[in-house]
A and B are shown apart, each in its own frame.
Chain A
Amino acid sequence: MTTPPFSPILMGGLLLRSVPPDLLQPIADRLARRLQDRHPDLFERMSSLGARTFLIDVTDLPWLFLLSIDANDSTVTVLRKSDPAPADATIHAPLKVLFGLLDGSIDGDAMFFTRDLSYEGDTEAVVALRNALDGTDIDFLEDIASAFGPFRSTAHTLATYALDGFTRIESDLAALGESLVQPAVRRTDAQARRIDELEERCARLEKALRRSKTIPT
């Protein structure tokens, strides 16, 4: 399973642990309706597979999101991490990666190849979801803000400020983290070089041994 990166979201997620899923559910309901109304092409692309469920594990937040996709009735259910629901596929990724996938700024294959995203279950459903999301021009920030109804404008402004702040804090944390782990990285690099040398030496010795065995006596 994907380990969440050290980020402001992870730290914020720890603080949000006590927020019950029920509090978020009305927003999730509105978001699901809005996606269905505004992006029918997303569901049309998924239609050949029939109804499918996806458990989205945002690794740096304390909740799971059960996404149930059907041509006519799609829902998002918020769950506690300790109370997962069965699904056709479970996707694990930090919030930043999931946001990037939704707005098309991040390549899903690249994230999977580098193991920043992982999943279990129905590969066909995951591939279809990823293709359908990527093929749809979604402004997820706007969709989430709209889920707040009359407070849409305020929510959008707050979310924009939060993202700007997140980027600044993330950069500061990265610099701090780099400074803290630098001595360990230097030691690891030195060990890696030593291992490479030993492997090369072993390979040379094995080759020499093979040659000595094949020399006719």
Chain B
Amino acid sequence: MTRVVRDPSRPVATLELVCPAGTPAALRTAVDAGAHTVYCGFRDETNARNFPGLNFNRQELKDGVAYAHDHGADVLVAINTFPAAGNLDPWHRAIDDAAEMGADAAILADIGLVEYALKTHKTLRRHLSVQAAASTPEGVNFYAREFGIHRVVLPRVLTLPEIKELNRHTEVETEVFVFGGLCVMAEGRCSLSSYVTGKSPNKNGVCSPASHTEYTEHGSGLDSKLGGFTINRFAEGEPAGYPTLCKGRFSANDKLSYLFEEPTSLNLLTMLPEVADAGVTALKIEGRQRGKAYVEKVVKAFRAAVDALERGETLDAAAIADLTEGGRETAGAYKKAWH
């Protein structure tokens, strides 16, 4: 399957860099920094980064699409949460508006919404969100056969050999996360946030909502809480993290440790040759909730890396080390070191 680009005169990048934009200013920053494609969402529960003060109103998206297209970049609109039965209007309206405003694709998770997009906006590309958790050729090909999806964003639980194998058995474009925060759970199916706060990324578009988090200084340290529960305690000078349950530090068998996952960021910058070899089409940078400075630095570093890769040069990861959560980074499941 060939990637459908808005401007046929624009060459298709060897690896397409898909970059986050939480605000119109971040969108312009990403485009200026070298993003091939930018993804964003509307300012409501239809997308999985429904944070206060973030996202686009309709006019901002229209202007953002125009800016990106003028500079040769594409815009994808994330409509990747799951609507409740009987309340489909906000999601249908989001798809309709994304199509009307000239977005290059909608990133969808709910199977009913994928069908709605297919039936109502045939020319709008349909990308299957990581929230749909499609991780096998059979699953991906089912979506392609039944709903004509053009691309799948793969869950961050697959190894590179598994991604390569998947790509051998599907014509659907694949997009993989290469930088940013990590989820250890099966995406689109995690309810940890919901257990503690009543709100989840899947239904409300927000994991561990800010309205339920609290940081308290105590002596020389810092406590982070979610829904009134202490999730972590940081010593003086220790890098802090956001209090998501999966990244909490808990005591078990008399030992205090990160039971599920340490506050660590994914960084595949130096593994891009292997990622390319696995046959992926696009590289996704996580972080619509992060600021312009993050967007500019990470996008520039990855664009330079993609360009260097095309020229056959080596890649340097040092440029973005200070932007990682907890000051640490990992290759996650892509380079699986556990069984």
- State whether A131 touches B54 (Cβ < 8 A): yes
- Docked complex Cα distance between A101 and B53 (Å): 15
CB contact list, A25-66 vs B, under 8 A = 45-46, 48-49
7 A–B pairs (Cβ distance < 8 Å), ordered by A: A49-B52, A104-B292, A113-B241, A113-B325, A118-B215, A123-B210, A131-B51
- State whether B327 touches A135 (Cβ < 8 A): no
- State whether A134 touches B291 (Cβ < 8 A): yes
- State whether B325 touches A124 (Cβ < 8 A): no
Query: With A107-B290, A131-B22 in contact, do A118 and B217 touch (Cβ < 8 Å)?
Result: yes
- State whether A131 touches B52 (Cβ < 8 A): yes
Q: For the complex, is B11 an interface residue (Cβ under 8 Å from A)?
A: no
Query: With A127-B210, A131-B23 in contact, do A109 and B54 touch (Cβ < 8 Å)?
Result: no
Output the nearest chain B residue to A104 by Cβ-Cβ distance: B292
Residues of B within 8 A of A (CB-CB), count? 37
- State whether B294 touches A113 (Cβ < 8 A): no
- State whether B24 touches A135 (Cβ < 8 A): yes
- State whether A132 touches B325 (Cβ < 8 A): no
Smallest Cβ distance from B186 to chain A, in angstroms?
A: 25
Output the nearest chain A residue to B294 by Cβ-Cβ distance: A107
Q: For the complex, is A198 an interface residue (Cβ under 8 Å from B)?
A: no
- State whether B26 touches A114 (Cβ < 8 A): no
- State whether B52 touches A113 (Cβ < 8 A): no
- State whether A118 touches B210 (Cβ < 8 A): no
- State whether A105 touches B293 (Cβ < 8 A): yes
**Mask: chain A, 95-122; 1 = CB below 8 Å from B; 0 = not:** 0000011001111111011110011100
Residues on A with beta carbons closer than 8 Å to the beta carbon of B209 = 124
Q: For the complex, is B323 an interface residue (Cβ under 8 Å from A)?
A: yes
- Docked complex Cα distance between A109 and B238 (Å): 15
- State whether B217 touches A1 (Cβ < 8 A): yes
Residues on B with beta carbons closer than 8 Å to the beta carbon of A109 = 289-291, 294, 325
- State whether B325 touches A45 (Cβ < 8 A): no
Q: For the complex, is A137 an interface residue (Cβ under 8 Å from B)?
A: yes
Of B53, B237, B290, the contact of A45 (CB 8 Å cutoff): B53
Output the nearest chain A residue to B28 by Cβ-Cβ distance: A137
Q: For the complex, is A10 an interface residue (Cβ under 8 Å from B)?
A: no
- Docked complex Cα distance between A48 and B51 (Å): 11
Number of A-B contacts (CB under 8 A): 100
Residues on B with beta carbons closer than 8 Å to the beta carbon of A132 = 53
Smallest Cβ distance from A110 to chain B, in angstroms?
A: 5
- State whether B53 touches A135 (Cβ < 8 A): yes
- State whether B215 touches A120 (Cβ < 8 A): yes
Query: With A124-B209, A135-B23, A135-B24 in contact, do A115 and B239 touch (Cβ < 8 Å)?
Result: yes
Residues on A with beta carbons closer than 8 Å to the beta carbon of B241 = 113
- Docked complex Cα distance between A1 and B215 (Å): 11
Q: For the complex, is B148 an interface residue (Cβ under 8 Å from A)?
A: no
Of A46, A115, A120, A129, the contact of B216 (CB 8 Å cutoff): A120
Smallest Cβ distance from B298 to chain A, in angstroms?
A: 9
- Docked complex Cα distance between A107 and B293 (Å): 5
Smallest Cβ distance from A116 to chain B, in angstroms?
A: 11
- Docked complex Cα distance between A107 and B322 (Å): 10
Q: For the complex, is B240 an interface residue (Cβ under 8 Å from A)?
A: yes
Which interface residue of A110, A112, A124 has the most chain B CB atoms within 10 A?
A: A110
- Docked complex Cα distance between A106 and B292 (Å): 8
Residues on A with beta carbons closer than 8 Å to the beta carbon of B322 = 110, 114
Residues of A within 8 A of B (CB-CB), count? 35
- Docked complex Cα distance between A129 and B116 (Å): 36
Q: For the complex, is B326 an interface residue (Cβ under 8 Å from A)?
A: yes
Q: For the complex, is A128 an interface residue (Cβ under 8 Å from B)?
A: yes
Q: For the complex, is B211 an interface residue (Cβ under 8 Å from A)?
A: yes
- Docked complex Cα distance between A71 and B210 (Å): 21
Which interface residue of A100, A101, A104, A128 has the most chain B CB atoms within 10 A?
A: A104
- Docked complex Cα distance between A114 and B209 (Å): 21
- State whether A123 touches B215 (Cβ < 8 A): yes
- Additional A-B contacts beyond A120-B217, A124-B52, A131-B52 (16; CB < 8 A): A45-B23, A46-B53, A104-B292, A107-B290, A109-B294, A112-B240, A113-B241, A113-B326, A115-B234, A118-B217, A124-B210, A128-B53, A129-B53, A131-B51, A135-B24, A135-B54
Residues on B with beta carbons closer than 8 Å to the beta carbon of A137 = 25
- State whether B323 touches A134 (Cβ < 8 A): no
CB contact list, B78-92 vs A, under 8 A = none
Smallest Cβ distance from A100 to chain B, in angstroms?
A: 7
Q: For the complex, is B194 an interface residue (Cβ under 8 Å from A)?
A: no
Residues on B with beta carbons closer than 8 Å to the beta carbon of A46 = 53
- State whether B291 touches A118 (Cβ < 8 A): no
Q: For the complex, is A136 an interface residue (Cβ under 8 Å from B)?
A: yes
Q: For the complex, is A152 an interface residue (Cβ under 8 Å from B)?
A: no
- State whether B291 touches A107 (Cβ < 8 A): yes
Residues on A with beta carbons closer than 8 Å to the beta carbon of B240 = 112-113, 115
- Docked complex Cα distance between A135 and B64 (Å): 13
- State whether B214 touches A134 (Cβ < 8 A): no
- Docked complex Cα distance between A48 and B164 (Å): 45
**Mask: chain B, 275-295; 1 = CB below 8 Å from A; 0 = not:** 000000000000001111110
Q: For the complex, is A130 an interface residue (Cβ under 8 Å from B)?
A: yes
Output the nearest chain B residue to A110 by Cβ-Cβ distance: B323
